């Protein structure tokens, strides 16, 4: 059974998580503080870790850093307060796997768990790749790996080397795709350039969490965002 | 404020004045229903006894006569006599007796200057009249004493007359004074000096003797040495007689001039032939005249009454004076009326004015005049007899 | 004595002078007279004795020879001349007392003989007798021959002689006294006049002065008086000089006073601020300057009918807890007054007693600070609003917690429902209970927000501090307890109520308690000290004040920053947490209610916040105004 660790200072939250995750069939560990969480992680090495960011004592980002340093492969999902964009970006920078917002709805939880499972299959620390999906009328590119600051130029070139004008480009984000702050900025720039060449951009298979994030940064005005549907 | 002033006034008023001397009681002493007591202290004995006795005889002659005729206003006049021997102290004592014990109405016929002068305080204190003094002392006359009724002329007048005779008439300038060393003598001396001063003269010598003694030698010596031309003698008969006799013995023959007090007849009798030419001033006319001059009626009366009451006595100047004194006394009593007081008596006597004594010498008293007679007669001893001259 | 005291000074002096002089003269006169009388008497007696003795010598011989004539002569000699008045009588007696000689010319007087008999045997003696109507000193001098007495001289010295002298003396003294009296009558009269006439003049001038005629000192009559007195150079002239100086000063000060009155009048009229003249009792408005009528919209005649309380809220409690008395300078800030049309006007009041008050007046100056207040409240509001963003992050986070729990719980139930799995009852209870309590929690958070943002009206109420604390305790107490922190309440029941708003006070306490909790938590976690957290809330009375202490054994505050903590936007909490506005706002609230807040802290040990509020005195002095 896959082990999940939930770290949050709110007891009610922990209780709910425990119920949920137990219902999903996970073995759940809970910790009320970052320190406690670290202790449990060291002891059990759970595959997935949910951690709240805003906690007294050791906060979520420190936990993230610590766990990351202990284990590159573990899927660390940070729980953010609603609309706390800054914290989310920080978490992405620290190579969090995903983030979800409080209050946590099922969809988000499922999406995060799903992504976590998929990513678990993938190797850790993937580089960014963009590849064209064959057999599609539009320009369909699959983005994978970690999209950082240097990568937008690459993306742009990749896209534009196909000599597309007045067409729609679809960017599919697979499970392995993750992005950091600089990456987002670059992505915005790229999309703007593309739009400058009258290329319409569609972002596909965006997990709902990322979708919220993109909305917050105003990407939804630059490109169409299509959310991934969660199976199950 | 007012009541304070009132208080002060009252307090001052309380400073009492001395009460009046004498009382009405005193002024009626000696008067009873039937009698009037008159007192006299005089020389009835001693070296001046002649004077007193002769005077009293003269007075008594008249008084007896009056008493015979029923007295004055129905009262007899009784004379109480006391002998003082010409001793002032005795006179004083006698007079005190007379006033205090005998309670006489008035005093009368005092003899001598020292004696009479001595009793002046008594007279004043007792407010008792004294009528007729055989003395011409100035002190009895000045200052005026209401109680002293002088009758005879004063020594001043006599010595004035003497000096007039000696200096003016006789032209003698060297005048000495022989005097009795007492009040009487001093008075006479003073009178002589006053009189001489008028002629710008002073006595060339002053000799004296003590009253009661015959120690005339010192005085005589002084006067002889002064080579006086005239000697005014103020003394009594005994001392003067001795003085003259001694002087004649020493061939000192100035003009001897005596005053009336000397006792003229006695002097003449004692001098004998030495008395020739001695002048005596008199205050009454000669009592008898051996001259052809007709006796004055007053004198005749005296002689007659003397003869009646004192047939053995011969009339003399002193006696005549006494007689005259009595006459005045009676006149005063007469005029005083029945309700006699000393005051009324004095007032009465003082009212006698221009009274005819029948001696061609009118007697007058006045408010300022307490001496009745003023005339001075000159007499000279001739053949042992005093004769009037000129 | 009263008659005396009612006399004028002049007459007092006059009569006293006269009286004293008379008295002294009288005393001197009496004294001298008695002295003189006694000496005269002594002299007389001596003289008498002398005469008697000389007579005795002369009489000796005559007594022995019983020569009464000579003795009588001697006796009379004794009375010779001017001795007549002196010697009334003289008697010479023998040694058996029989009279030998005497001077009683007119008769013995009275009991003289017996006297003589008596006295004849005595030695030298002087007896005071009355003989006849004369008082005499009867002097007896014995006449002796050898040692044997032979007789006596008995002499009567007329006392009357002396009595006359004395009477003369009496007359003399009397006339002396009269003269003295007369002289001093005039002298003392003149003296009294000399002293008192200038005084009377000065009195007249002083009267003129009191009537306000200050120029009297320049008048010629006064000048001549001054000259006259100058020559004297004594107390009178000094008095006159002082009088002149005083008058001049009085005149100047009166002028100065008139000037300042005019100045005041013009200041009053033209003063930029509303000024009221108010009476000390009851604060009736006696006068108001044009600015006052302008600002408040009432006409002057209307204002004069009102009291200061009618215009605005004057609270009983002042900054020092004393009632509203205007004995001293009093300033009151941010008092709410109302215009005629009902608009509120905020003013600062500055009151002081009127300087030249004949009545008891107070000048009340007001400064319109309405704008300031509004700006202030706007600022607070703005700062509140400005921080709402910051706060919202915190609120958001806070609300998220209950929301999350609710969401997850309900989603779980949905999930189970879809999976057609039965929810174990335990889990169901857990979920449902949790949902319910989290809703409550969320609601509280919302209401907290609401109260915080609510604009507070300014009317204050009488609030019991303990009640506030208790209600806060109800809200947050359980939470605190859940966090293993001891919340101890030590509330003194005798404290007086304060003038404030209950919910704002609750805000304050809430804030401080949460700060305390946070501090404790910080200590426990950051410093890893595990002894239990403790918050103590204590209320206690202080003279005219109510004190509240909120003490925690938390992390403490670094002494360097104890000042800054009250500054706006200062927070040690991470971004998104902690309002940063708490303490400044708390401070603002506390100050609004005329309170003070101070902090004392030991890093690592704990912190105490101390708040002091002035007590509300009994409500009669407060005019509660309803919000318009």
- In order of start, what are the domains of chain C with their CATH numbers? 2-169 (3.30.450.20), 271-368 (3.30.450.20), 369-455 (1.10.287), 457-628 (3.30.565.10)
| Subunit partners of chain C (3 or more CB pairs within 8 A) | A, B
Whether pLDDT at C619 is above 60? no
Q: Between C434 and B81, where is the model more confident?
A: B81
Residue B109 shares a structural domain with residue B218: no
Of A15, A20, A102, nearest to C434 by CB-CB distance is A15
Q: What is the pLDDT of residues A88-113, one digit of tens each?
A: 888 888 888 888 888 888 888 888 88
Flag whether B301 is in a domain: yes
CA A100 to CA A108: how far, in whole Å? 7
Judged by CB atoms closer than 8 Å, whether chains meet at B96 and C164 is answered as: no
C427 in contact with chain A, both atoms CB, cutoff 8 A: yes
CA A77 to CA A98: how far, in whole Å? 5
Q: Which residue of B has its CA nearest to C80?
A: B121
Residue B172 shares a structural domain with residue B272: yes
Whether pLDDT at C111 is above 90? no
Residue B231 shares a structural domain with residue B314: no
Neighbours of A4 (CB within 10 A): 25
Of C67, C106, C167, nearest to B126 by CB-CB distance is C106
Flag whether B15 is in a domain: no
> Pairing between strand C498-500 and C533-542?
unpaired
Residue A117 shares a structural domain with residue A141: no
Q: Which of A29-33, C66-70, C581-585 has the lowest mean pLDDT?
A: C581-585
pTM for this predicted structure: 0.48
Q: Which residue has the tokens 């003070």?
A: C596
Judged by CB atoms closer than 8 Å, whether chains meet at B93 and C73 is answered as: yes
Mean pLDDT computed over C151-179: 81
Q: What is the pLDDT of residues C591-603, one digit of tens each?
A: 888 889 988 888 8
- The residue segments making up the domain with residue B273 are 155-282
pLDDT (0 to 100) of residue C381: 65
A150 membership: H or E segment, kind and range: none
DSSP string, B130-199: EEEEE---HHHHSS--TTEEB-SPPHHHHHHHHHIIIIIIT----EEEEEESSHHHHHHHHHHHHHHHHT
pLDDT (0 to 100) of residue C618: 54
C434 in contact with chain A, both atoms CB, cutoff 8 A: yes
CA C227 to CA C234: how far, in whole Å? 13
Domain boundary among A68, A92, A121: A121
CA C117 to CA B354: how far, in whole Å? 54
CA-wise closest residue to A47 among A14, A25, A23: A25
Whether pLDDT at C562 is above 80? no
Residue A78 shares a structural domain with residue A157: no
Flag whether A100 is in a domain: yes
Q: Which residues on B lie below 8 Å from C136 (Cβ)?
A: none
Whether pLDDT at C316 is above 50? no
pLDDT (0 to 100) of residue B129: 92
Residue A8 shares a structural domain with residue A117: yes
Question: For chain B, what is the domain count?
Answer: 2
| Subunit partners of chain A (3 or more CB pairs within 8 A) | C
Judged by CB atoms closer than 8 Å, whether chains meet at C170 and B8 is answered as: no
Question: For chain A, what is the domain count?
Answer: 2
Flag whether B141 is in a domain: yes
Q: Helices C159-210 and C235-270, interaxial angle, to 10°?
A: 20
CA-wise closest residue to A38 among A13, A74, A11: A74
Residue B149 shares a structural domain with residue B30: yes
Whether pLDDT at C320 is above 50? no
Contact assessment for residue C136 and residue C156, using Cβ atoms and an 8 Å cutoff? yes
Of A20, A59, A84, nearest to C408 by CB-CB distance is A20
Q: Which residue of B has its CA nearest to C159?
A: B18
Q: Between A163 and B352, where is the model more confident?
A: B352
Domain boundary among A121, A148, A172: A121
Of A19, A20, A56, nearest to C521 by CB-CB distance is A56
Judged by CB atoms closer than 8 Å, whether chains meet at B92 and C72 is answered as: yes
Residue B145 shares a structural domain with residue B165: no
| Subunit partners of chain B (3 or more CB pairs within 8 A) | C
Residue A92 shares a structural domain with residue A22: yes
Residue B130 shares a structural domain with residue B222: no
C380 in contact with chain A, both atoms CB, cutoff 8 A: no
pLDDT (0 to 100) of residue B231: 92
CA B216 to CA B234: how far, in whole Å? 12
Residue A44 shares a structural domain with residue A110: yes
> Pairing between strand B377-382 and B279-282?
antiparallel
CA atoms within a 13 Å half-sphere pointing along the CA-CB vector of C126: 18
> Pairing between strand B106-111 and B35-42?
parallel
Max avg pLDDT among B317-321, C385-389, C503-507: B317-321
Residue B164 shares a structural domain with residue B141: no
Q: Which residues on C lie below 8 Å from B99 (Cβ)?
A: 105-106
Domain boundary among A121, A150, A165: A121
- The residue segments making up the domain with residue A82 are 3-121
Contact assessment for residue C412 and residue C431, using Cβ atoms and an 8 Å cutoff? yes
Q: What is the pLDDT of residues B181-197, one digit of tens each?
A: 988 899 999 999 999 99
Q: Which residues on A lie below 8 Å from C526 (Cβ)?
A: 57
Domain boundary among B255, B282, B309: B282
Residue A96 shares a structural domain with residue A61: yes
Q: Tell me the β-bridge partners of B190.
A: none
Note whether B touches C: 3 CB pairs or more under 8 A. Answer: yes
CA-wise closest residue to B385 among B278, B230, B301, B248: B278
**What's the CA angle centered on A182, arms A176 and A188, to 5 degrees?**
85
SS3 (DSSP) at A71:
coil
CA B363 to CA C108: how far, in whole Å? 39
Residue B137 shares a structural domain with residue B74: yes
Residue B56 shares a structural domain with residue B87: yes
Q: Which residue of C has its CA nearest to B83?
A: C69
A205: domain CATH number is 3.30.750.24
Max avg pLDDT among B376-385, C102-111, C380-389: B376-385
Share of residues in chain C with pLDDT > 70 (%): 83
Of C105, C163, C171, nearest to B126 by CB-CB distance is C105
B140: domain CATH number is 3.40.50.2300
pLDDT (0 to 100) of residue C529: 63
pLDDT in tens, chain A (232 residues): 789 999 988 888 888 888 888 888 899 999 988 889 999 999 988 889 999 887 777 878 888 888 888 887 888 888 877 667 777 888 888 888 888 888 888 888 888 888 888 888 777 666 777 777 676 665 677 777 777 777 667 777 777 776 666 677 777 777 777 777 777 888 888 888 878 877 788 887 777 777 877 887 788 888 888 887 655 4
Of A15, A16, A57, nearest to C525 by CB-CB distance is A57
Mean pLDDT computed over B344-354: 88
Mean pLDDT computed over B228-257: 92
Bond preceding residue B298 cis, omega within 30 of 0: no
Judged by CB atoms closer than 8 Å, whether chains meet at A106 and C427 is answered as: no
Residue A177 shares a structural domain with residue A201: yes
Domain boundary among B282, B313, B329: B282
Residue A204 shares a structural domain with residue A167: yes
Whether pLDDT at C477 is above 80? no
Burial C528-550 (b: 16+ CB within 10 A, else e): eeeeebbbbbbbeeeebbbbbbb
Residue A92 shares a structural domain with residue A140: no
Q: Which residues on C lie below 8 Å from A56 (Cβ)?
A: 521, 525
Residue A37 shares a structural domain with residue A60: yes
Q: Mean pLDDT of all residues in chain B? A: 87
Q: Tell me the β-bridge partners of C220.
A: none
Judged by CB atoms closer than 8 Å, whether chains meet at C68 and B93 is answered as: yes
Q: Give C318-383 as a 3 state SS string.
A: CCCCCCCCCCCCEEEEEEEEECCCCCEEEEEEEEEECCCCCCCEEEEEEEECHHHHHHHHHHHHHH
Domain boundary among B282, B307, B335: B282
Q: In what order do the strands lie in the sheet with C285-288?
A: C285-288, C275-279, C361-368, C344-353, C330-338
pLDDT (0 to 100) of residue B196: 92
Q: Which residue of C has its CA nearest to B18?
A: C160
Residue B179 shares a structural domain with residue B278: yes
Mean pLDDT computed over B64-76: 91
Of C400, C411, C427, nearest to A102 by CB-CB distance is C400
Q: Helices A106-121 and C370-418, interaxial angle, to 10°?
A: 70
A17: domain CATH number is 3.40.50.2300
Residue A61 shares a structural domain with residue A168: no
pLDDT (0 to 100) of residue C576: 46
Note whether B touches A: 3 CB pairs or more under 8 A. Answer: no
Flag whether A232 is in a domain: no
Residue B181 shares a structural domain with residue B235: yes
Q: What is the pLDDT of residues C291-303, one digit of tens each?
A: 888 888 888 888 8
Max avg pLDDT among B220-224, C138-142, C532-536: B220-224
Q: Which of B284-293, C159-168, C186-195 has the lowest mean pLDDT?
A: B284-293
Residue A87 shares a structural domain with residue A14: yes
């Amino acid at each position: 059974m896959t082990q999940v660790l939930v770290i949050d200072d709110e007891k009610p939250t922990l209780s709910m998580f425990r119920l949920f995750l137990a219902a999903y069939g996970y073995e759940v560990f809970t910790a009320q503080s970052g320190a406690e969480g670290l202790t449990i992680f060291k002891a059990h090495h759970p595959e997935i870790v949910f951690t709240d960011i805003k906690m007294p004592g050791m906060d979520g980002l420190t936990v993230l850093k610590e766990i990351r340093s202990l284990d590159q492969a573990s899927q660390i999902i940070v729980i953010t307060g609603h609309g706390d964009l800054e914290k989310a970006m920080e978490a992405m920078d620290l190579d969090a796997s995903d983030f979800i917002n409080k209050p946590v709805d099922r969809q988000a939880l499922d999406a995060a768990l799903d992504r976590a499972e998929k990513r678990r299959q993938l190797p850790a620390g993937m580089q960014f790749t963009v590849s064209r999906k064959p057999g599609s009328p539009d320009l369909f590119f699959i983005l994978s790996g970690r999209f950082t600051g240097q990568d937008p130029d690459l993306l742009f070139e990749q896209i534009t080397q196909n000599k597309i004008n007045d067409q729609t480009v679809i960017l599919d984000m697979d499970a392995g795709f993750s992005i950091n702050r600089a990456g987002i900025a670059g992505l915005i720039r790229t999309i703007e350039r593309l739009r400058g060449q009258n290329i319409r951009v569609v972002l596909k298979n965006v997990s709902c969490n990322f979708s919220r994030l993109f909305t917050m940064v105003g990407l939804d005005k630059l490109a169409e965002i299509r959310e991934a549907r969660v199976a199950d | 404020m007012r009541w304070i002033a009132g208080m002060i006034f009252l307090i001052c008023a309380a400073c009492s004045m001395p009460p009046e001397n004498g009382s009405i009681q005193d002024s009626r002493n000696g008067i009873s229903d039937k009698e009037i007591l008159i007192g006299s202290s005089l020389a009835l004995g001693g070296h001046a006894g002649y004077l007193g006795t002769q005077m009293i005889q003269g007075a008594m002659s008249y008084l007896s006569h009056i008493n015979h005729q029923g007295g004055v206003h129905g009262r007899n006049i009784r004379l109480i006599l006391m002998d003082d021997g010409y001793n002032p102290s005795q006179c004083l004592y006698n007079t005190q007796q007379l006033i205090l014990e005998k309670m006489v109405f008035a005093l009368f016929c005092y003899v001598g200057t020292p004696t009479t002068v001595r009793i002046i305080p008594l007279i004043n204190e007792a407010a008792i009249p004294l009528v007729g003094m055989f003395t011409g002392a100035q002190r009895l006359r000045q200052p005026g004493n209401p109680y002293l009724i002088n009758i005879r002329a004063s020594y001043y007048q006599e010595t004035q007359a003497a000096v007039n005779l000696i200096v003016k008439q006789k032209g003698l300038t060297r005048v000495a004074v022989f005097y009795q060393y007492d009040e009487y003598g001093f008075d006479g001396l003073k009178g002589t000096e006053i009189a001489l001063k008028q002629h710008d003269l002073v006595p060339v010598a002053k000799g004296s003797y003590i009253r009661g003694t015959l120690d005339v030698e010192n005085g005589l010596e002084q006067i002889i040495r002064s080579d006086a031309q005239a000697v005014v003698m103020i003394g009594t008969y005994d001392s003067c007689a001795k003085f003259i006799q001694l002087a004649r013995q020493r061939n000192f023959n100035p003009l001897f001039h005596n005053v009336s007090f000397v006792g003229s007849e006695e002097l003449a009798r004692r001098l004998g032939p030495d008395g020739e030419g001695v002048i005596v001033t008199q205050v009454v006319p000669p009592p008898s005249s051996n001259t052809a001059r007709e006796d004055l009626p007053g004198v005749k009366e005296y002689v007659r009454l003397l003869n009646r009451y004192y047939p053995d006595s011969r009339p003399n100047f002193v006696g005549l004076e006494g007689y005259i004194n009595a006459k005045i006394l009676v006149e005063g009593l007469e005029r005083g009326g029945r309700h006699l007081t000393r005051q009324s008596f004095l007032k009465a006597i003082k009212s006698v004015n221009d009274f005819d004594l029948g001696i061609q010498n009118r007697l007058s008293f006045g408010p300022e005049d307490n001496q009745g007679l003023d005339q001075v007669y000159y007499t000279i001893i001739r053949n042992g007899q005093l004769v009037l001259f000129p | 004595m009263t008659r005396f005291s009612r006399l004028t000074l002049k007459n007092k002096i006059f009569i006293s002078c006269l009286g004293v002089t008379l008295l002294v003269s009288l005393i001197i006169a009496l004294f001298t007279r008695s002295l003189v009388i006694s000496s005269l008497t002594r002299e007389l007696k001596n003289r008498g004795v002398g005469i008697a003795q000389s007579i005795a010598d002369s009489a000796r011989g005559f007594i022995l020879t019983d020569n009464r004539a000579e003795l009588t002569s001697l006796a009379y000699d004794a009375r010779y001349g001017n001795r007549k008045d002196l010697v009334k009588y003289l008697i010479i007696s023998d040694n058996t007392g029989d009279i030998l000689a005497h001077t009683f010319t007119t008769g013995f007087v009275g009991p003289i003989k017996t006297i003589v008999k008596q006295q004849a045997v005595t030695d030298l003696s002087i007896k005071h007798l009355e003989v006849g109507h004369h008082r005499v000193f009867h002097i007896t001098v014995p006449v002796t021959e050898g040692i044997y007495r032979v007789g006596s001289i008995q002499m009567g010295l007329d006392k009357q002689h002396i009595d006359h002298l004395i009477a003369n003396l009496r007359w003399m003294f009397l006339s002396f006294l009269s003269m003295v009296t007369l002289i001093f009558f005039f002298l003392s009269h003149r003296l009294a006049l000399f002293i008192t006439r200038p005084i009377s003049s000065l009195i007249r001038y002083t009267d003129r002065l009191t009537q306000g005629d200050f120029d009297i000192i320049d008048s010629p009559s006064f000048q001549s008086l001054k000259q006259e007195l100058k020559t004297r150079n004594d107390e009178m002239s000094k008095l006159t000089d002082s009088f002149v100086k005083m008058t001049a000063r009085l005149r100047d000060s009166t002028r100065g006073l008139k000037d300042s009155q005019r100045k005041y009048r013009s200041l009053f009229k033209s003063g930029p601020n509303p000024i009221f003249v108010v009476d000390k009792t009851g604060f009736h408005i006696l006068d108001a300057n044009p600015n006052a009528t302008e600002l408040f919209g009432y006409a002057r005649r209307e204002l004069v009918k009102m009291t200061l309380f009618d215009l605005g809220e004057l609270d009983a409690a002042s900054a020092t807890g004393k009632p509203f008395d205007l004995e001293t300078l009093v300033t009151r800030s941010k008092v709410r007054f109302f215009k005629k049309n009902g608009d509120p006007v905020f003013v600062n009041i500055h009151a002081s007693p009127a300087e030249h008050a004949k009545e008891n007046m107070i000048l009340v100056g007001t400064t319109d600070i309405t704008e300031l207040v509004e700006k202030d409240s706007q600022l607070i509001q703005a700062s509140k609003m400005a921080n709402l963003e910051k706060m919202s992050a915190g609120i958001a986070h806070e609300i998220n917690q209950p929301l999350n729990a609710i969401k997850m719980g309900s989603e779980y139930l949905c999930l189970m429902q879809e999976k057609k799995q039965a929810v174990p009852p335990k889990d169901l209870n857990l979920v449902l209970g949790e949902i319910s309590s989290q809703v409550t929690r969320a609601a509280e958070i919302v209401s907290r927000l609401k109260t915080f943002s609510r604009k507070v009206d300014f009317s204050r109420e009488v609030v019991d501090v303990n009640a506030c604390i208790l209600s806060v305790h109800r809200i947050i107490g359980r939470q605190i307890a859940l966090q293993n922190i001891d919340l101890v309440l030590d509330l003194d029941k005798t404290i007086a109520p304060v003038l404030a708003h209950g919910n704002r006070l609750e805000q304050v306490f809430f804030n401080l308690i949460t700060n305390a909790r946070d501090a404790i938590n910080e200590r426990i976690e950051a410093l890893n000290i595990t002894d239990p957290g403790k918050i103590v809330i204590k209320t206690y009375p202080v003279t005219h004040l109510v004190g509240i202490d909120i003490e925690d054994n938390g992390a403490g505050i670094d002494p360097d920053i104890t000042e800054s903590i009250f500054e706006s936007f200062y927070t040690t909490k991470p971004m998104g947490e902690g309002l940063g506005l708490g303490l400044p706002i708390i401070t603002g609230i506390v100050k609004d209610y005329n309170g003070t807040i101070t902090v004392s802290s030991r890093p690592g040990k704990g912190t105490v916040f101390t708040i002091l509020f002035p007590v509300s005195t009994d409500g009669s002095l407060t005019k509660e105004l309803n919000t318009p």
